[in-house]
A and B are shown apart, each in its own frame.
Chain A
Amino acid sequence: EVQLLESGGGLVQPGGSLRLSCAASGFTFSTSALTWVRQAPGKGLEWVATVTVSGGTTFYADSVKGRFTISRDNSKNTLLLQLNSLTAEDTAVYYCATDKGAFHIWGRGTMVSVSS
């Protein structure tokens, strides 16, 4: 079964850090660019970051640039997102997705809550 499964979300204080993981199975992970998309409670979808197939090139939304880092480990079929200097505005469900321009496969999401 083709699957992406996120983990690592939770409650963190403002200024804190989290590392999200996305484990892939059922498809050739190393041939897909990968993306994180987030959705704040009751809001729409927001693109966060993308990493290319090799992991050599990354792209970030202005809202997270300099605070978040996307990376991948093709040997472990895992996508990562390091979240630093978190603020309340980062509270959202974070989804990983395969990226062929359109996002074909999505995970179920992991919730990140930033609150004191």
Chain B
Amino acid sequence: DIQMTQSPSTVSASVGDSVTITCRASETISSWLAWYQQKPGKAPKLLIYKASTLETGVPSRFSGSGSGTEFTLAISGLQPDDIATYYCQQYKSYAGMFGQGTKVEIK
């Protein structure tokens, strides 16, 4: 199974700060990676797919990069509405799809 490892588990930042979340795959997944945002009690929402393609309607302060085994989700100018847990997902294979999540908090 592919293992997806996110870091950090929690990040605390101030409004307006830039935030970076890393996702590492245990084997190469090319660019078959997505990022989701999940707010408490809500369904996940797709932010980015194919590593760097922004889903329609997602604010441009979100960006994704990387390929192979290392990927990054960046939030430039953190907003209060960005408080959520973020998950990466590989879709090269079904087993081991999701990372464990990164909780973003306001400092």
- Is A88 in the interface zone, CB < 8 Å from B? no
- CB-based contact B55/A104 at 8 Å: yes
For B97, what are the chain A residues with a Cβ–Cβ distance below 8 Å? 45-47
Given contacts A44-B100, A47-B98, contact A101 B49 (CB under 8 A): yes
B10 CB to nearest A CB, Å:
14
Option from A44, A50, A59, A95 in Cβ contact (under 8 Å) with B43: A95
Q: Mark B65-107, 1 if CB is under 8 A from A, else 0.
A: 0000000000000000000000101010011011111000000
A27 to B75, CA, bound (A): 30
- CB-based contact A102/B87 at 8 Å: no
A3 to B45, CA, bound (A): 13
- CB-based contact A102/B34 at 8 Å: yes
Option from A45, A100, A104, A106 in Cβ contact (under 8 Å) with B98: A45
Q: Mark B35-68, 1 if CB is under 8 A from A, else 0.
A: 0101000111110011000010000000000000
- CB-based contact B89/A106 at 8 Å: no
- Is A62 in the interface zone, CB < 8 Å from B? yes
- Is A14 in the interface zone, CB < 8 Å from B? no
Residue of B nearest to A105 (CB): B46
- Is A67 in the interface zone, CB < 8 Å from B? no
Residue of A nearest to B34 (CB): A102
Give the contacts of A67-116 with B (CB-CB under 8 A).
95, 100-104, 106-109
A7 CB to nearest B CB, Å:
15
A93 to B97, CA, bound (A): 17
- Is A61 in the interface zone, CB < 8 Å from B? yes
A15 to B102, CA, bound (A): 34
Given contacts A95-B43, A107-B43, A108-B43, contact A102 B100 (CB under 8 A): no
- CB-based contact B43/A47 at 8 Å: no
Option from B46, B95, B98 in Cβ contact (under 8 Å) with A44: B98
Q: Could you jot down 8 A-B contacts, CB within 8 Å?
A: A44-B98, A45-B38, A47-B94, A101-B49, A102-B49, A102-B91, A103-B44, A104-B55
Interface residue ranges, B against A (CB under 8 Å): 32, 34, 36, 38, 42-46, 49-50, 55, 87, 89, 91, 94-95, 97-101
